[in-house]
Chains A and B, each alone.
Chain A
Amino acid sequence: MTVGTKAGMEAGMGGMKVGIVRFPGSNCDADVYRAVTEGLGESATYLWHKSTDLQGVDVVVLPGGFSYGDYLRAGAIARFSPIMGEVIDFARGGGLTLGICNGFQVLCEAHLLPGALVRNRNLRFRCHDVGLRVENAATPFTSAYAEGDRLHIPIAHGEGQFVAGAATLDELEAENRVVFRYVDRRGQATEAANPNGSARNIAGIANAEGNILGLMPHPERHSLSVLGNTDGLGVFRSLLAAVADGRGRRSDHGPPEAPEFAAGAVAGAGVSS
């Protein structure tokens, strides 16, 4: 099923506004913007990390990159950015929140998702496409897919090995919160298909309520036909359907404030992740 915005509007759907947080060192923010605006025809806006105004968005995306140069631990400093207070309140209150790559690391550091992401087991920065199996198609992030679908999505990270205690891993599995898993061409979650040594081939997980998703691969990079692959667009299409269904909630507007775009020096911006 394909529901673009124009069709959605005609069908009486309200459309969707996506807020993309920009930390110093974010570098996949524009990719998400294009996936939402060009891939879906929906609206998107950037949210500066020093702001505390979520601008009434329906969905918050923490994009990939190297926020604060990955200093200390990936995501550890970004987690305390001024806007994260608002993002945490929004997410805890049921707001649809998506963390991609560095955004996933930030969500774990903020304890919005369990576990942590550590150095890839093979110590290599892995930048290539992987096979991903949709393990749960009932989330607001995956309803456009069918369970068991195999997607072709890029990864680009050096610290993407998902680790958590055995009890946490069992809980994630039992509650169907493992949303994506690394698989080979035949859809098998083998060791060879696991690019970073993640526990149980886990590539993406959701919180217990299902409104927060973190994943290491980059669906936004496979969301435009001009890029040769649109396997990732389903994540954003699912979000649009979820917003139309009234899942999640709209963020509040914070107090007006002066923009401070010149204030933060961009530290350690790399080529990807």
Chain B
Amino acid sequence: MSRVWSVDVRVTPREGILDPAGETIRRALGNLGYEGVHSVRAGRLIRLEVEADGAEAARASTEKMCEQLIANPIIEDYVVRVREG
């Protein structure tokens, strides 16, 4: 049964890729007195409404979009989550 699924894609800098934005946030947190923040990685959340025959199909379709456009696998990792409801 085809319906519209709400899908979240979380894109983050890959392990080992320097993330200057995250590092700047970490330092700012330190300046504010938040001790013990060892690492900050800043990514982006992309929320899609995808029509598909089931949650699995929505996920598969979104993963294809990630490979082609939404993420750059050279520098980024991504996680796809189909939201229930």
CA distance A208 to B21 in the complex (A): 33
Which of B13, B69, B74, B75 touches A80 (beta carbons < 8 Å)?
A: B69
Chain B's interface: helix, strand, loop or mixed, by majority?
Answer: mixed
CA distance A122 to B75 in the complex (A): 18
Would you call A169 an interface residue if the criterion is a C-beta within 8 Å of the partner chain's C-beta atoms? no
Contact B21 A119 (CB under 8 A): yes
Q: How far is the CB of B71 from chain A (nearest CB, A)?
A: 9
Would you call B30 an interface residue if the criterion is a C-beta within 8 Å of the partner chain's C-beta atoms? no
Residues from chain B with Cβ under 8 Å of A119 in the complex: 20-21
Which of B24, B72, B74 touches A164 (beta carbons < 8 Å)?
A: B74
> Assuming A72-B70, A73-B72, A164-B74, is B18 touching A121 (CB within 8 A)?
yes
How many of B's residues come within 8 Å of A, CB to CB? 11
> Could you mark each residue 102-139 of chain A with 1 if its beta carbon is under 8 Å from any beta carbon of chain B, else 0?
00000011000001101111110000000000000000
Residues from chain B with Cβ under 8 Å of A73 in the complex: 72
User: Chain A residue with minimal CB distance to B17?
Assistant: A163
Query: Which residues of chain A in 64-121 are interfacial with respect to chain B, using CB atoms and an 8 Å cutoff?
Result: 72-73, 76-77, 80, 108-109, 115-116, 118-121
12 additional contacts (CB under 8 A) given A76-B72, A163-B17, A163-B75: A72-B70, A73-B72, A80-B69, A108-B74, A119-B20, A119-B21, A122-B20, A123-B21, A161-B18, A163-B74, A164-B74, A197-B20
Chain A residues proximal to chain B, CB less than 8 Å: 72-73, 76-77, 80, 108-109, 115-116, 118-123, 161, 163-164, 197
11 A-B pairs with CB atoms under 8 Å apart are A72-B69, A109-B72, A115-B74, A118-B18, A119-B21, A123-B20, A123-B21, A161-B18, A163-B17, A163-B74, A163-B75
